[in-house]
Amino acid sequence: MSLLLNVLLWGLGLLAQAYVVMPVVIKFTQSHRARYTYLPVRPEDLGPEVAAFIRHTVHALRAEGYNAVASFRVVEGVPGVTAFAVLLVEPLALNRAQAAFTIGHGGPVTLRTPTLTVGTKFEDGTSLAVSNFADAGVFPPDP
């Protein structure tokens, strides 16, 4: 009887950890602010890798008729993450684009993610946004 009781107590302990303790731990480690602080950024404020991506992307989009309308950075919107972004608008069709470079600091590893997102709104009211951000895409990865 005591072996069965021990097994049940261990099982209840594991369930309690999975459904009570772990959600509390996740809540306090996975958070982001409700209101972000957007700070202005100038080209000279950017590191070389960020500046090269933003420069190349803005140059390519200007050739397509886009104009840069804002640039900013968000520091610690998510703990350990800094994001640099440029917002662009194509004035004839009011298409929009965002070039963003996100740097995540996580201990010994630093993740650097350049992302371009382009949105188009069609005359019938539908819209389409495409992005090169593979990690959060809506389509399955290529085989």
The stretches in the chain having pLDDT less than 50 are none
**Same-domain check for residues 14 and 72:** no
pTM: 0.67
| 96 found inside a domain | yes
Taking only the tens place, the pLDDT of each residue in 34-69 is: 677 888 887 777 889 999 999 999 999 999 999 999
Give residue 44's pLDDT. 75
Q: Which residue, chain included where needed, has tokens 């957007």?
A: 38
What is the C-alpha separation between 122 and 114, in angstroms, rounded? 27
Tell me which residue of 52, 55, 50, 101 sits closest to 74, measured CA to CA.
Answer: 101
| 143 found inside a domain | no
Cβ(69)–Cβ(87) under 8 Å? yes
Give residue 143's pLDDT. 56
**Same-domain check for residues 104 and 127:** yes
Strands of the sheet containing 38-40, edge to edge, are 38-40, 67-75, 81-90, 95-106, 109-121, 127-131
**Same-domain check for residues 60 and 83:** yes
Domain range for 130 is 38-136
Give residue 32's pLDDT. 63
**Same-domain check for residues 66 and 128:** yes
